[in-house]
Amino acid sequence: MDFITPLISIIDRLCTATASRASRVINLDRSMHYLTAELNELMDKRDDLTTRLERAELDGSRRTNEVQRWLARVEVIEAEAASIMENFGQSRQGLGCFNPSCCSKYNMSTEMIEKLQDISELKGKGNFERLVTEPRPAPVEEKPCKPAIGIGVMLDKVWEFLEEEKVGIIALYGMGGVGKTTLLKTINNAFLSSDHNFDVVIWVLVSKEFVVSKIQQSIVARLGLPWADSEAHELLTSKIYNVLKKKRFLLLFDDVWEGIDLGDIGIPLPDDENKCKLIFTTRSMDVCSDMDAHRKLKVELLNDEKSWQLFCEKVGRMDVLESPPIRTYAKTIVRKCGGLPLALITVGRAMANKETEEEWKYAIELLNKSPSELRGMEDIFTLLKFSYDNLENETAKMCFLYCSLFPQSYSIEKEQLVEYWIAEGFLDSSYDSNAYNKGYAAIGSLKVAFLLETGEEETQVKMNDVIRSFALWIASGCGVNKGNFFVEASLGLTEAPGVKNWEGAQRVSLLDNAITRLEEVPMCPNLLTLLLQWNNCLNRIPDDFFQSMSALRLLDLSFTSIRRIPVSIGQLLELRHLNLTATKITTLPKELGSLAKLVHLNLLRTYYLRTIPREAISGLSKLVVLNLYYSYERWKIQNSNCEDEVGFEVLETLTQLRFLGLTISTVTSLHRLSGIRSLVKCIQYLFIKECEGLHQLELSTLGYGKLLRRLSINDCNELNYLVVEGEAGENWLPNLEVLALYGLPNLISVWKTPPREASLQNLRLLNIWYCHRLKNVSWISLLPRLEAIYLFYCKALEALVSEDEKLEPDSKSFSRLKTISIRDLPALRIITPLALNFSCLKNIAVIDCPKLKKLSIRTAHNSTTLPTVHCSKDWWEGLEWEELNTKNAFLTNFTSN
């Protein structure tokens, strides 16, 4: 019986195991249900995580290794669970507990239990603190940008700047719509395909209303750093700095309107040590300085060729543009776009579907009179308005709008513009140095904002055609009140527009037309400015023309052919500025004396003026400017019988006078004038003519030295020289700009004593004719601002600068000279004893100078910098050249008379 006890034990264990196995087989369906549910939850967790990952990876972030391994394990578990489910489906047909099917189900149940444990464990590990690593941004992000016309030269210049080690900050500046952003995008995209040493190129749109936090957020996002809207400014600054200080970066800031403190943002200052760079665009040259730019590049307007190319590209209809009439109109439209790419693109697109000649003519009419009505132009004006709104004060804005009264691309003398502004009350009305300085400062502000540009000469400014159209749009209240400024300048008008068109205006400009007469009498109670100058054929104005202009402050009739001033001039009681330059008037009306508020009376070059009644001047108690240069000369001498005519004693009563231009024709008048200190100290323009018995003109004794700006001496047969005495080193005639000497046959030397180096620092133009004893004008080599020399009909002149003068090859003499014109100088042998670098010289004219055999010009063999030589072919062929290369360089610049 001893074997029975072990047997019973074995049977008990077998029964227990069999019962457990049977239980598992019986609960197999329930296990499959649990497995399916747990697997679905794991898959949901996996899918949610994948969605979050895809969103996080959009900025270049990379999933962590932990997350990647978890997802791989989920994939394995999913496959294993799917296999169990498939086997379960196939095993449901098995019967009994001990058959093979039952054993298989038992194994399957065990697998299910193990897989449930695996899934549960995996679900628990699927809660991650961090899904992705810090992103590694691409070095460059492409910016959408179409190929641009005409930026190749500027791109090359930018690459040159980037190569300079000591250049960290580069400014690209220019007017709105000129293509600065396009240039910056092109620079950005160029780094996509080129080898470079920058770790990252970062683009930031700054804009006018920039906020430091927005710039910081742009940089943080580009660097792939985590941040929150609520994050403190200091924390962002530190975060940016700690990343950028370890990188070699290129920052591209677009549309900067004011100086930005890079340190406040967290940007290490780009310099030659960290090799980092910043390039920014701006509409203001002031910002270039505020940002301490090491290099500045002006984004220029397109030239005529590139403008036409861009316009044609946008029109896209060469079949239309090649039609001769339409091509002519198209060229006119392109000119009116003023080389501004945005205008060319906008107008080009607007004209893309215009096929008839009438449509193109109408477009020109719109651009002349109502450009904002042309499709797309108002968008351009809105863009430009940012620059206008950013002007520092209302004075600058009014001064800007005033410039639109002048024709398209018209060069305006700065001085004239400032005088207009003073008359209008934009500046101080005192005509003192403060008012002028304020006016010139306003011009500077407008140039800095690219709303004005330099004119044909340095003393002039002009307005781009598109900017002018924009200014007129602003002046009309953005198109709401079009009658405020009535401007039809340089339109070829032969008749004045009907007065109904301009009766409600504050400012009317009809200058530079071909109007012959004014027939209608307008009712203009609000009119402040009337510009009629440069209507050369205008010879008649009705007597009652001014009777209804009671508010008029400024009247310009210069360069017209009027012979008499209407008596209704006396009713302009608010008039401050009257310009009658180069008119044909013979007398001033007595009614002029009623203009008690008149401050500026310009009678320059009124050659026919013979009579000035005392009453015409004596009542002008507020007169500050009186210009009679090349004008009235018949000054009444004290105790003469001409009691009704003006004399110096009348001018003495003008206590506000600060600018005086005079013409003197007798030695007696000259001596009389020299004794009236109150007048002498005001003289800025002086014309002396036909003074018999005048042997020397003692300028210092007469007291003309300090303020004199223009001095012209004609037909004084006995004059030997001019005398300016003073202490050694004293600056002679510091403000003299123009010196003209004509018909002085006994002039031995211009100056009795040679000028000192500090003298004549502002002389720009020298004009000498018919001075037959004059041998040289060597002193001109001392003049730092000399721009033009005209020497005609001087028989004894041997040299401009004599061989006795010690000039160095690298001399700074004539550094601003633009024009040399010499004619009929039979004794002239040399211009200067050494060949000099005339860096600004544009034109040389040589006529009838047979002994002159050399041009004293040193050349770097670069024909683009050489002046044009106007001369006879025979003289040209007889020139002697030290180097053949120099002659060859000049060949393309030679023009035969």
CB atoms within 10 A of CB 418: 23
For 142, what's the count of Cα atoms within 13 Å in the CB-facing half-sphere?
6
Torsion angles phi and psi, residue 535, rounded to 5:
-95, 80
Q: Is the pLDDT of residue 408 over 70?
A: yes
Q: Is the pLDDT of residue 730 over 70?
A: no
Same domain membership, residue 351 and residue 450: no
| CA–CA dist 197, 191 (Å, integer) | 10
Does residue 84 lie in a domain region?
yes
Same domain membership, residue 442 and residue 412: yes
Q: Distance between the two ends of the chain, CA-based, in angstroms?
A: 151
Across the range 672-696, mean pLDDT stands at 93
Strands 696-698 and 62-63: unpaired
Same domain membership, residue 874 and residue 841: yes
Does residue 72 lie in a domain region?
yes
Across the range 119-142, mean pLDDT stands at 79
| CA–CA dist 871, 883 (Å, integer) | 20
Does residue 729 lie in a domain region?
no
| CA–CA dist 722, 684 (Å, integer) | 17
Does residue 143 lie in a domain region?
no
Q: 171 near 297, Cβ under 8 Å?
A: yes
Whole-number pLDDT of residue 193: 83
What does the block give as tokens for 227? 């941040």
Whole-number pLDDT of residue 894: 75
Q: Is the pLDDT of residue 850 over 80?
A: yes
Q: What whole-number percentage of the chain has pLDDT above 70?
A: 91
- The count of domains in the chain is 5
Write the CA distances from 702 to 175, 708, 720, integer angstroms.
49, 11, 17
Q: Which of the two residues, 61 and 652, has the higher pLDDT score?
A: 652
pLDDT digits 0-9 by tens, 13-47: 544 444 445 455 556 778 777 778 888 888 888 88
Whole-number pLDDT of residue 614: 93
Which residues, including other chains, have CB under 8 Å from residue 161's CB and lie 6 or more apart? Answer: 167, 170, 295, 297
Question: DSSP label at 393?
Answer: S
Does residue 517 lie in a domain region?
no
Whole-number pLDDT of residue 430: 64
Same domain membership, residue 261 and residue 187: yes
Whole-number pLDDT of residue 104: 65
Q: 276 near 250, Cβ under 8 Å?
A: yes
| CA–CA dist 490, 533 (Å, integer) | 11
Torsion of the alpha carbons at 115, 119, 124 and 129, rounded to the nearest 10? 130
Same domain membership, residue 264 and residue 167: yes
What does the block give as tokens for 386? 């940012």
Q: Is the pLDDT of residue 639 over 70?
A: no
Same domain membership, residue 245 and residue 190: yes
Residue where a domain terminates, one of 482, 516, 546: 482
Does residue 599 lie in a domain region?
no
Torsion 213-216-218-223 (CA) sign: negative
| CA–CA dist 87, 83 (Å, integer) | 6
- The SS3 call for residue 736 is coil
Query: In terms of Cα–Cα distance, which of 575, 573, 569, 624 is closest to 592?
Result: 569
Same domain membership, residue 186 and residue 125: no
Q: Is the pLDDT of residue 97 over 50?
A: no
Residue entry with tokens 């369906």: 29
Torsion angles phi and psi, residue 412, rounded to 5:
-110, 130
CATH of the domain at 223: 3.40.50.300
Q: 294 near 271, Cβ under 8 Å?
A: no
Question: DSSP label at 134?
Answer: P
Strands 696-698 and 721-723: parallel
Whole-number pLDDT of residue 112: 80
Torsion angles phi and psi, residue 830, rounded to 5:
-140, 155
Write the CA distances from 633 to 605, 663, 666, integer angstroms.
11, 5, 9
Q: Is the pLDDT of residue 577 over 50?
A: yes
Torsion of the alpha carbons at 509, 514, 520 and 523, rounded to the nearest 10? 0
Q: Could you please report the per-residue DSSP string of 83-132?
A: HHHHHHHHHTT--SSSSHHHHHHHHHHHHHHHHHHHHHHHHHTT--S-SE
Alpha helices in 411-490 (DSSP H): 414-424, 433-448, 465-475
Whole-number pLDDT of residue 757: 80
Does residue 82 lie in a domain region?
yes
What does the block give as tokens for 668? 């007696």
Residue type present at position 330: A
Query: In terms of Cα–Cα distance, which of 280, 297, 399, 298 is closest to 339?
Result: 298
Same domain membership, residue 452 and residue 333: no
Query: Does an H or E element contain 714, and which?
Result: strand 710-714
| CA–CA dist 755, 763 (Å, integer) | 12
Whole-number pLDDT of residue 1: 46
| HEC string for 774-793 | CCECHHHHHCCCCCEEEEEC
Query: In terms of Cα–Cα distance, which of 408, 409, 426 is closest to 417?
Result: 426
| CA–CA dist 553, 549 (Å, integer) | 9
| CA–CA dist 804, 748 (Å, integer) | 17
Among the ranges given (6-20, 305-319, 597-611), the one the predictor scored with the smallest mean pLDDT: 6-20
Q: What whole-number percentage of the chain has pLDDT above 90?
A: 55
Whole-number pLDDT of residue 209: 81
Q: Longest Cα pair distance anywhere in the chain, in angstroms? A: 178
Q: 401 near 421, Cβ under 8 Å?
A: no
Q: Is the pLDDT of residue 344 over 80?
A: yes
Query: In terms of Cα–Cα distance, which of 876, 823, 814, 865 is closest to 842?
Result: 865
pLDDT digits 0-9 by tens, 183-240: 999 999 999 887 888 989 999 999 888 888 888 888 988 887 777 777 788 888 888 8
* Residues recorded for the chain: 897
| CA–CA dist 113, 35 (Å, integer) | 8
Find how far residue 510's CA is from the centre of its chain: 27
Does residue 676 lie in a domain region?
no
Same domain membership, residue 361 and residue 310: yes
- The SS3 call for residue 45 is helix
Across the range 418-435, mean pLDDT stands at 84
Same domain membership, residue 267 and residue 390: no
Query: In terms of Cα–Cα distance, which of 485, 472, 583 is closest to 534?
Result: 583
| CA–CA dist 220, 70 (Å, integer) | 30
Whole-number pLDDT of residue 131: 77
| CA–CA dist 217, 228 (Å, integer) | 9
Same domain membership, residue 155 and residue 196: yes
Residue where a domain terminates, one of 328, 346, 369: 369
Q: 688 near 714, Cβ under 8 Å?
A: yes
Q: Is the pLDDT of residue 681 over 60?
A: yes
| CA–CA dist 618, 634 (Å, integer) | 17
Same domain membership, residue 314 and residue 294: no
Q: 505 near 483, Cβ under 8 Å?
A: yes
Q: Which residue range is the domain that position 412 belongs to?
A: 383-482
Residue where a domain terminates, one of 460, 482, 504: 482
Whole-number pLDDT of residue 71: 86
